[in-house]
Amino acid sequence: MTVEDDDDQAVPPGRQRKIIHVDMDAFYASVEQRDNPDLRGKPVAVGGSRERGVVAAASYEARKFGVRSAMPSVTAKRQCPELIFVKPRFEVYKAVSQQIREIFADHTPIIEPLSLDEAYLDVTENLQNIPLARDVALAIRSKIKEVTGLNASAGISYNKFLAKLASDHRKPNGQYVITPEMGPAFVEAIGGKLRQELILVASAHSKVRSSSRPPCDDRQFDGCAKAGSLLSHLGRK
């Protein structure tokens, strides 16, 4: 069952849902660093290193130089000359993801996977009878670390949108709770940032008419990515 399927089921009056968004930290790159000690502590990009290659994932060491997923490999290498490219091993990532899903299933049957490295969990009623959702998240993150050796971040709130924002708020290897009392102010603060990002995106697109540059050049890449991510989650519950 997914979180979407569970939306039609009644929640007792006066009781808020407890939603956790679990997001693995730099998942593909972290798996590579776990399996190859020589890569630990170094800037790593999973993806193709050739001229038309694209970064699929970047380690946090690489992100310090501005390297991001979906960035052209040539741009990434220019920003971080010491960047190490590693070919993706999707079968390994899928196997690790399955281990993580099994940990989720120990706590709730209501799981909505978004990709190999993130999912929403409805723990309003959880299988371990843990009263607080934050403690469920702590237990899940601890078990993931024990089983896979990898770090996960988590966001806890009363809907999926806020749970996603909460997990982003404490990355990497952290968690954050947005309560019903905190929700409106948190969204208002994020809304201000979103408006700024959208202004940057609109400005970038307006320049296309008089320039051959793509709408998102290197300097505007992060703004476009962040705005797009926030917009995509606005449509989710």
Q: What is the pLDDT of residue 191?
A: 74
Beta strand 152-157 pairing with 175-177: parallel
Q: What is the pLDDT of residue 49?
A: 82
Q: Which of 32, 61, 118, 197 is catalytic?
A: 118
Active site (annotated) includes residue 118: yes
Q: Which residues contact 42 (CB under 8 A, 6 or more apart)?
A: 33, 59, 61, 82, 84
- Per-residue pLDDT band for 4 (boundaries 50, 70, 90) equals low
Q: What is the percent of the chain where pLDDT is above 90?
A: 67
CB contact at 8 A, 99 and 152: no
5 compared with 213, residue with greater pLDDT: 5
Q: Hey, which residues does 175 pair with through a beta bridge?
A: 154
Q: Comparing 3-25+90-177 with 28-86, is the CATH topology the same?
A: no
Q: What rounded mean pLDDT belongs to the chain?
A: 84
3-state secondary structure of 65: coil
Rg of the chain's alpha carbons, rounded to an integer? 19
Digit-coded pLDDT (tens) for 162-221: 999 999 999 999 999 999 999 988 888 877 766 666 566 555 545 444 444 444 444 333
Full-prediction pTM beyond 0.85?
no
Work out whether the CA dihedral 220, 64, 149, 165 comes out positive or negative.
Answer: negative
DSSP state of 48: -
Residue 152 CB burial class (10 angstroms; 0-12, 13-18, ≥19) = buried
In CATH, which of 3.30.565.10, 3.40.50.2000, 3.40.1170.60, 3.40.50.1100 is domain 28-86? 3.40.1170.60
The architecture (CATH level 2) of 3-25+90-177 comes to: 2-Layer Sandwich (3.30)
Question: What are the residue ranges spanned by the domains of the chain?
Answer: 3-25+90-177, 28-86, 184-234
Among all chains, which residue has been given the structure tokens 């050796």? 149
- Per-residue pLDDT band for 2 (boundaries 50, 70, 90) equals low
